[in-house]
Each structure stands twice: as structure tokens, then as C-alpha cells.
């Protein structure tokens, strides 16, 4: 096959999903194909867009099984001349602070820190190991969501706990770094007036966080030691007084595994509303608790934006991205309404359109909607780490 036929395959593994994209060896070019397997463990569904689109139900008990289904497709993302695999790995711990070529030692390091991201690191490892076995000799690159945030100042990086624990790795890592890395670059062309300034970026989805960017560099984030912290999410609690956890253990007798399942799966929008973890369902509902869950999400998103403005010593603009940030005009409108005091004035028509600048010409501060492409960042990082002499 010619160089033009070679591809980098990107895998973005979640607890119940497996996103993928195949890029030519020019990651700035459009992907050859992309798609996802959703609903893994239940009614799994495969969708592929590209030259040979596919939209069908499949059987996949876990992400590793979904990967095997993809590998069996003669025209799928794992076919053709694969130069390398790139993987999103949520937690890199204290030592894995940049993208790396994967070997057995790196696998062991990722496995050791998996308890810090129990929903994400283990399935990503399963997929990575499975691909190494099925496609021996092809290099793999691990790209960490925590790496982008590793330059935080000490006051944003630490908890008020003894230094010995910090040295063991108990610190505020921040997440969604691959998304923020993409947005930092995309602002240069899509929001050039604020790209070098002080910007709050809201990665708002089922998993949600916010980041303070100064000249494209992360200086603070709403997430901390794990992906439980910060904003309320689809099923995760967000910031929670640690005394609540003590109370659940001491007064209700909950063991650690029950507390973990509760915080990751039964809280957030789902727990507060008692109805759904999907913001679209909550916006459409007249149930009082559904309305409360929406307002709670809006309130804490705006509150966090204000706090991150303090971290930066000011604010020049705001960027919405990810599932809710890119697609929910009502949430964007309500967040900016709470931030009117900072100088945001919404352009309703632009907000409904949902691309580019969504604030009025008279607005003192500007807000934008910029779609994120984590897979493209992974493809770039993977290409940069490929051995120069690889055939």
C-alpha cells in the first residue's frame, strides 16, 4: 500500500462507549472514517460515517468486545494499513505528564493508577491490551487527559493536606485535557480576539468540567484528584463535602464499593432529578425535580466560571464545547444570563444557530461555541511520536 493509504487509528474508550476515527498520516486532513459504539453492556449500537457508512445493532458486553467487533469488519476502522494506534487515557497520575509510546512498563504504570479513574482507565487498558495482542508489532501511543493541566501553580494544584500525601500523588490533576488542548488551538482561528487572553472553557457533557486558559495554557480546572470533582454531571456528584462520605459510611454503614458506585453512577443530574441523566430529558420535563436539576447545573456552571475568572485575575471570554455546550442553546442562554454582571450579552439568534460567536455586538465580553475534536489531538500526538525510521 502507498503512504496515502496508511492510517492512524484513534480509540476513545469510555465505560459504555467506544469512539473511534481513522486518520491519514496528515491528522489535519478529515478522518477517513469515524464513529462510535454506544450502549455497550446493553443494547449496543454501532455507527460509522465515511466511505462505507454503517448503522446497526451489535452485541458487545464491554468495550473490549466492541473492539473485537470492529476488528472483524473488513472495511471498518481497524482494517487497512495501520501505522499506529492512539488512545485516550483519562488519568496519567503524577508521572505520566505527556503522551507516550506504550510498552509493558507504561502499561503497568497506567494499571497502577486505574483506581483514580475506575470508569475509564480499566476499559481503555482492556482495549489497548487487546489490540496489542491482535495486531502485534504496531505501535501504540497513550494520550492522557491529565497532561494538559500539569503546569498549574501550586495553589491550584494542591489540597490543604500534609505535603507527604502530595508527594504520593494526592493532588488536583484536572481532566478533559485533550479537549481543552484542541480548543486552545482552535481559538486561534475561530475566536482570535480572545485566543491569547483569559478564557474560561466549559466542556459540558455527561462528564463536565471547566478550565481557565491564559494564552492557551491551563492554569486551573474545576476537576481535581478524580473525575468526580467540580461540576454536577450526568451521574456523578461533582463537588461534595467529604463529610457526606463519612456520614454514609459511619451512619448508614455503606462499604467503600457501594459509596463508589453511588458517587459515579447514582448522583448528578440523575440523582437530583430522579428522572434522567440526559439534560434534554430534563429540559423537556415539567417535574419539579427535573427543573431543579437543570437550574442546579446552570447555577454551578456559572458559579465555576466566576471562580475561574478569579484564578486568572480577569476574563476576556467564554467558550462552550462538548455535548451540552455545543448542542443546548437553552443551557448556554441560562448560563450567560447568570453571567450578565461580568459583561456577557447574548445574541439569541446566534445562540440558536449554535456556532461561532453567540454574544451580541454590544457585549463587553464575548462567548463562542467551538466543537471539540479530542480524536484529532490524539492523532497529532500519535504521529509526532512515531519512530522516524518506521517503514
Report the alpha-carbon distance of residue 193 to residue 182 in Å, rounded: 17
Q: How many CB atoms lie within 10 A of CB 182?
A: 22
Instruction: Name which of 146, 211, 204, 243 is nearest 329 in CA terms.
Output: 204
Contact between 45 and 37 (Cβ < 8 Å): yes
Catalytic site includes residue 389: no
Residue 25 has phi, psi (to 5 degrees) of -75, 25
Helices (H), the chain: 63-71, 104-112, 121-134, 154-157, 163-167, 177-190, 242-250, 256-265, 268-273, 279-284, 288-312, 322-327, 329-338, 348-353, 374-385
Cell 466549559 sits at which residue? 202
Strand bridging mode 198-203 / 209-214: antiparallel
Catalytic residue, from 62, 145, 157, 229: name it: 145
Contact between 193 and 226 (Cβ < 8 Å): no
Residues that are catalytic: 145
Amino acid at each position: 500500500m502507498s503512504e496515502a493509504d496508511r492510517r492512524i487509528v484513534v480509540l476513545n474508550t469510555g465505560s459504555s462507549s467506544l469512539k473511534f476515527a481513522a486518520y491519514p498520516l496528515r491528522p489535519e486532513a478529515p478522518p477517513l472514517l469515524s464513529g462510535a459504539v454506544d450502549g455497550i453492556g446493553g443494547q449496543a449500537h454501532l455507527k460509522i460515517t465515511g466511505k462505507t457508512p454503517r448503522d446497526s445493532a451489535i452485541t458487545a458486553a464491554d468495550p473490549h468486545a466492541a473492539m473485537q467487533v470492529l476488528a472483524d469488519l473488513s472495511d471498518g476502522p481497524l482494517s487497512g494499513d495501520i501505522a499506529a494506534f492512539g488512545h485516550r487515557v483519562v488519568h496519567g497520575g503524577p508521572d505520566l505528564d505527556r503522551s507516550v509510546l506504550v510498552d509493558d512498563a507504561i502499561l503497568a504504570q497506567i494499571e497502577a493508577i486505574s483506581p483514580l479513574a475506575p470508569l475509564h482507565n480499566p476499559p481503555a487498558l482492556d482495549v489497548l491490551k487487546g489490540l496489542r495482542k491482535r495486531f502485534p508489532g504496531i505501535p501504540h501511543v497513550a494520550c492522557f487527559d491529565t497532561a494538559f493541566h500539569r503546569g498549574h501553580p501550586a495553589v491550584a494544584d494542591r489540597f490543604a493536606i500534609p505535603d507527604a500525601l502530595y508527594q504520593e500523588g494526592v493532588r488536583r490533576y484536572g481532566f478533559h485535557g485533550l479537549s481543552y488542548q484542541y480548543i486552545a488551538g482552535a481559538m486561534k482561528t475561530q475566536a482570535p480576539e480572545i485566543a491569547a487572553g483569559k478564557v474560561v472553557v466549559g466542556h459540558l457533557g455527561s462528564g463536565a468540567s471547566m478550565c481557565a486558559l491564559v494564552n492557551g495554557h491551563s492554569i486551573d480546572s474545576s476537576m481535581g484528584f478524580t473525575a468526580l470533582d467540580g461540576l454536577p454531571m450526568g451521574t456523578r456528584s461533582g463537588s461534595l463535602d467529604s463529610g457526606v462520605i463519612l456520614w454514609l459510611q459511619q451512619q448508614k454503614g455503606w462499604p467503600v464499593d457501594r459509596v463508589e458506585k453511588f458517587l459515579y453512577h447514582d448522583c448528578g443530574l440523575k440523582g437530583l432529578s430522579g428522572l434522567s441523566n440526559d439534560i434534554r430529558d430534563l429540559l423537556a420535563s415539567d417535574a419539579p425535580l427535573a427543573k431543579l436539576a437543570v437550574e442546579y447545573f446552570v447555577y454551578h456552571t456559572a458559579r465555576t466560571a466566576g471562580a475561574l475568572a478569579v484564578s486568572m485575575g480577569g476574563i476576556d471570554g467564554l467558550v462552550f464545547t462538548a455535548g451540552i455546550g455545543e448542542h443546548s442553546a437553552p443551557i448556554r442562554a441560562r448560563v450567560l444570563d447568570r453571567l450578565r454582571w461580568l459583561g456577557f450579552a447574548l445574541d439569541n439568534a446566534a445562540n440558536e444557530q449554535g456556532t461561532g460567536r453567540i454574544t451580541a455586538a454590544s457585549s463587553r465580553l464575548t462567548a463562542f461555541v467551538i466543537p471539540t475534536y479530542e480524536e484529532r489531538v490524539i492523532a497529532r500526538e500519535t504521529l509526532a511520536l512515531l519512530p522516524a525510521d518506521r517503514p
